[in-house]
Amino acid sequence: MDLIILVLVFAVLGYFLGVSRLGKQVDHATEQLTLTTSKMADSLESRWKSFFKRSQQGDRFRNWALGAGSSLFPEEFKTWLKSLSEQEAQDFTTALVEYSNSLGFKLTDLVDGGLDQEPILRQVFVEAVVVYSSAYRKAKTARQQSEEKESKKAAQPESEIKPAEKSASRRAAGSQPETNEAASAAA
């Protein structure tokens, strides 16, 4: 009998605790912990995939953008993407994945067709990819030009660098009259 009363007391306490303010705070804290854990798991998953599946991801995006998704992209973008080497395509895709993640998009959703049901969102994502690729190309070109200038400066031999020529002395022997100082020193 005592055991039944003890179970009933704990059941009533549990019920009141669940519906009280403390219970709601515990539920909220649990929800926050779940969200944080989920975000950490997603982050770890994307890092894991980017670390171990880089080459597949670069090829996968390029194949999709030039194949099934080609109607979404302008010709200039597709021509540029075709011209990239495997390593350049991989570098671009890795940078694009990081950029997409910072916008709250996942490149895999675009490639896998996860955004096909939301054409407006898909179009915004595609436009972001095109704009990013333009900025990526400009930055890469500027970096290459800067490196070329630096390498030319480093490669230029010192013999080609002309020292400043001495200007002819204003006091060539006998061409200038003596100054007052020289005259007073002679006297």
Q: What is the pLDDT of residues 65-117, one digit of tens each?
A: 888 888 889 999 989 989 988 888 888 888 999 998 898 888 888 888 888 88
Residue appearing with tokens 């955004």: 115
CA angle in degrees (0–180, nearest 5) for 132-138-142: 145
- Look at 123 and 41; give whichever has higher pLDDT: 123
Let me know: does 55 contact 87? Beta carbons within 8 Å. Answer: no
Could you state, in order of their start, the residue ranges of all structural domains in the chain?
Answer: 1-52, 53-148
Q: Residue 134 corresponds to which tokens in the numbers above? A: 């333009």
Q: What is the pLDDT of residue 127?
A: 92
Answer whether 122's CB lies under 8 Å from 116's CB: yes
pLDDT the model gives residue 161:
53
Q: What percent of the chain has pLDDT over 70?
A: 77
Task: Identify residue 182 by its one-letter amino acid code.
Answer: A
Instruction: Tell me the pLDDT tens digit for each residue of 112-150.
Output: 888 888 888 889 888 999 999 999 989 888 988 888 888
Asked if residue 58 has pLDDT above 70, the reply is no
Is residue 110 within 8 A of residue 130, CB to CB? The reply is no
Q: Write b or e for each residue in 126-143: b if 16 or more Cβ atoms lie within 10 A of its Cβ, otherwise e.
A: bebbeebbeebeeeeeee
What is the rounded distance in angstroms from the CA atom of residue 99 to the CA atom of residue 134? 13
Q: What is the pLDDT of residue 45?
A: 78
The whole-number pLDDT of residue 75 equals: 92
62 with 81: CB under 8 angstroms?
Answer: yes
Q: In angstroms, rounded to a whole number, what is the distance separating the alpha carbons of residues 139 and 141? A: 5
- As given in the structure block, the two tokens for residue 63 are 């194949």
